[in-house]
Amino acid sequence: MGAIGEEELMKWENMQGLARGHEEKILVLVRLRPLSEKESARNEVADWECINETTILYRNSLQERSGLPTAYTFDGVFGGDCSTKHVYEEGTKEIALSVVSGINSTIFAYGQTSSGKTYTMNGITEYTVADIYDYIQRHEERAFVLKFSAIEIYNEVVRDLLGRDDTQLRLLDDPEKGTIVEKLAEETLRDWSHLRELLSICEAQRQIGETSLNETSSRSHQILRLTIESSAREFLGKDKSTTLSASVNFVDLAGSERASQALSVGQRLKEGCHINRSLLTLGTVIRKLSKGRHGHVNYRDSKLTRILQPSLGGNARTAIICTLSPARSHVEQSRNTLLFATCAKEVTTNAQVNIVMSDKALVKHLQKEVARLETELRTPGPACDYAALLRKKDLQIEKLEKELRELTKQRDLAQSRVEDLLRGVRNDHSSGQWDELSHNAKFQEKNTWEDESSVSEASCGTDRHCLDVAVKKKKFNDATQSSNKNNRRLSEDEGDHSLFGGTSSSLSDSRNFGRSDRCRGKEEFVLETGESSDDICKEVRCIEHEERAFVLKFSAIEIYNEVVRDLLGRDDTQLRLLDDPEKGTIVEKLAEETLRDWSHLRELLSICEAQRQIGETSLNETSSRSHQILRLTIESSAREFLGKDKSTTLSASVNFVDLAGSERASQALSVGQRLKEGCHINRSLLTLGTNFVDLAGSERASQALSVGQRLKEGCHINRSLLTLGTVIRKLRLTRYSFLYSLKLQLAA
Ligand code: ADP
Ligand code: MG
C-alpha cells in the first residue's frame, strides 16, 4: 500500500471532482468478421459492409424494400479486414486503460455464437494487459499491485475459473463493494507471464458447448477481472497515504441467439434457457437504462447483471463490442445484435476515481470539502439575489394589498346598497300588513324615526346620548332592527375613551341638558359619536304629523349604591325591580309623567337634576357617583282610527343614560362613604363591562368584586374597565352591539 503527496492528492481530488459529475454514454462498437471458411464453402453472401468508421450498411437489394433500416451508426464500426489490435487502439483502449487512473472499466463482447466474441475479447484482454504493464514500467514513482480473478456463469451457476474444483460460488451483497462473489480466488500477479498462465487455465476450464452453429462456441459467460491498486512510492507507509483502486472487466458473453434457432435439444436446450435468463435480463436492463433512469431496474434478476451492475449505468466506463457475422443466413441475428447495440449506446454511466484513503488523509479531504461548501454557501451566485427576490415579493404584497383595499371598498358599497334595498322592502311589507298604516303610506315613507334613529323635536336637546328605540307592538320588530342596524353606522372607534373616559362626547353628564336649547326649532339634529360628523350625522325628521295622535311619557331614575330611586318621586324611597312577563324588568311604583308640552318636560328635567346625588372626589368636585336613566316613551296612533276596533298604537321608549364616573376608587382618593359608593358603582359598571365582554365573546370577567377588600376592588374595577376598553378597541365593537348590550342591560 503506497501513499500520495499533497500535490497528488489535489490532482486526484480534481480528477474526482471532474468525474463526480461526469456522465458519459456507453461506448458501442461493431465488429464485422470475415466470412468463415465454412460459410464461404456454403457460398454464403456477405450482406454487411462498413462504409466508414462509424456506419455499417446492409447491402442486400432484396431486403432494401422491407422497411427495415439499412444503415446503422455507432461510435465505431470495424470491418472484416480490421485487426483486433486496430479495434483495441481505436475503440476500447482509452476506456480499458482508465483503470490505471483509478476508474473502473468494463469491455463487453456481445453477439451470436461464432460471430467472433471470444476471438475479439482474447485480443482486447491481451493488448490491455500489455499496455497496463507498459504504463507501470513508465511510472516507477508509483507502486502498483495487480490482482486477477475469473468467473464463469453457466446455467446461472457461478464458478471460479481459477478454482481447483467445480464448487458453485455464492453472490453476497457487500455494503461498500456491492455484489461480490464469495470465496473467489484472487491471484496477485507477479508479472505478465504469470497472467498469461492464468488466462490459459481459464480457457481450459471454461465450459465449451457444442451446437450445430459452431463447434467451439460457448454457452457460458466469462468475466475476467483485473484489479489495479497504485500509490506514490514517496508516501508509502506514511499517514497521508492514499491509494487508487479500480478494476477492468473483460466480459465474453455467451451466444445471443435463441435456443430454437440454435436447434438445441435436451441439455443444450436447458442451457440455452439459462443463458437466456442472463442475456434476457441484460437486454431488459439495457433497454430500461436507455430510456433514462426511471423506476426500478431489474439488475437482480440474473447473476450476470448483479455482478456487472456497476458497469451498467454505474461507477464504471463501459464499452460494448458487438460482433457480427456478415453471412446472409445470420441476418436476423445480426439485426438483433444491432438492435441491442442501438439501445446500449443510449445508456449513461457515471464513473468516478476510486480513492482509498488513510484515515488522516480522509479527514484532511473532508475538511477541505467542508471549507469548499461553506465558501459556496457564502457567495451565492447571481441566480440567488435574495434582496432582489425580496423586493419583488414586497411589490407583489403591496399590489395585493391595494387590490384588497379596492375590493373591500366595493364590498362595503354593495353591502350598503343591499341594506337600503332591504329597508325599502321592509317598509313595503309593513304597509301591506297594516291597514291603518297603509293609510299612512306617505308617513311611512317620509318619517324615518324608527328607520333613521331619529327622535322628536322634544329629544333634540339630547344629542351625544345613546338611543334605544324599542317598538313594542308586534310586527314592528323589523322597524326596531332597522333602527339598530342604522346605529351601526355610527363610529366603531369611539371605543373606551368616549364611552368610559367621561369626555364631552360620551354618555356624559346631565348638566348638559341645558344645551337642548341649541337645537330647539331645528328640524334636524346630529347624533354625535366623536368622529367626523359628516360621516355619521343623519338627517332626521321631527314628528310633525297632525294626522297622528301622540302621547309622550317621562320617567327618571337614579341608581346609587345599587339602590334605585325615582328622580321625580317625592321621597327617597328605594324602588324595587320587578320582572314583568311582557315588559321584562320594570321599576315598581315608578312615577311616569304624561307630558303636556315641551316646557313641562323641562320642568321635570330640572327636578331630576336637583334630585340627583352628586358625589365629591378630589378629581372632580361635581362628578357623579350615580347612574341616571331618563326615559321618554312615545305612543302614537292614527287619529282616523282612534277609538275604533282597528286601532293600533306605536309605542317606543328612548333612554338617556348618564353613567357614573368610571375612575378607580384608589385614583379618586375616596374615603368612607365615597369608597363604599365607589364599590357599588363598580358593581354596576363591572356588570356592564362583563356584559360587553360576554357579548364580544372574549374572556369572562370572572374577576368579580371581592366584598370587603377595598383595595382589591379598585384593582378589579381597573381590570374590568381595562378589559372592557381593550375588548372594544380590539374587536372594534360596533355601536350596534354597544347599543344592543346597553339595551339588554338596562331594559332587562
Ligand atoms: P464466438 O465466441 O462469438 O462464438 P469466436 O470468437 O469463437 O466466436 O469465433 C468463431 C470463429 O471465427 C473462430 O474460429 C475465430 O477464429 C473466427 N473469427 C472470429 N472473428 C474473426 C475475425 N475478425 N477475423 C478472423 N477470424 C475471426
Ligand atoms: Mg466464444
Asked whether the beta carbons of 717 and 686 are under 8 A apart, the reply is yes
The CA–CA distances, whole Å, from 619 to 190, 625, 662 equal 112, 12, 12
| Closest ligand, as measured to the CA of 110 | 1
Asked whether the beta carbons of 240 and 231 are under 8 A apart, the reply is no
| 648 annotated to a ligand binding site | no
The CA–CA distances, whole Å, from 284 to 110, 289, 297 equal 14, 8, 8
E strand residue ranges, 561-626: 563-566, 577-580, 584-587, 593-594
For residue 318, the surrounding DSSP H or E stretch is strand 317-324
| 573 annotated to a ligand binding site | no
Per-residue pLDDT tens digits for 162-199: 988 888 999 999 988 899 999 999 999 999 999 999 99
- Minimal-distance CA residue to ligand 1 atom 1: 114
**Which ligand 1 atom lies nearest to the CA of residue 216?**
7
Per-residue pLDDT tens digits for 317-355: 999 999 999 999 999 899 999 999 999 999 999 999 988
**Residue 218 banded pLDDT, cuts 50, 70, 90:** low
| 115 annotated to a ligand binding site | yes
In short, whether 115's Cβ falls inside 6 Å of ligand 1 is yes
> How far does residue 210's CA lie from ligand 2's centre (Å)?
11
Mutate to test the pocket of ligand 1, among 29, 33, 37, 206 (most ligand atoms within 8 A of CB): 33
- pLDDT at position 42 is 92
In short, whether 256's Cβ falls inside 6 Å of ligand 1 is no
**Which ligand 1 atom lies nearest to the CA of residue 31?**
23
Mutate to test the pocket of ligand 1, among 77, 112, 114 (most ligand atoms within 8 A of CB): 114
Question: Grid cell 342596524 — which residue?
Answer: 485
- Minimal-distance CA residue to ligand 1 atom 16: 119
Rounded to an integer, what distance in angstroms lies between the CA atom of residue 466 and that of residue 351?
Answer: 86
Dihedral sign from CA coordinates of 282, 97, 90, 19: positive
- pLDDT at position 685 is 66
37-46, 211-220, 535-544, 675-684: the lowest-pLDDT one: 535-544
**Residue 405 banded pLDDT, cuts 50, 70, 90:** very high
Q: How many CA atoms lie within 13 A of 8 on its CB side?
A: 21
Instruction: Tell me how crowded residue 435 is: count the other CB atoms within 10 A of its CB.
Output: 12
Per-residue pLDDT tens digits for 294-314: 788 989 999 999 999 999 989
Residues 94-118, mean pLDDT to the nearest whole number: 94
Q: How many CA atoms lie within 13 A of 405 on its CB side?
A: 5
**Residue 484 banded pLDDT, cuts 50, 70, 90:** very low
- pLDDT at position 463 is 36
In short, whether 111's Cβ falls inside 6 Å of ligand 1 is yes
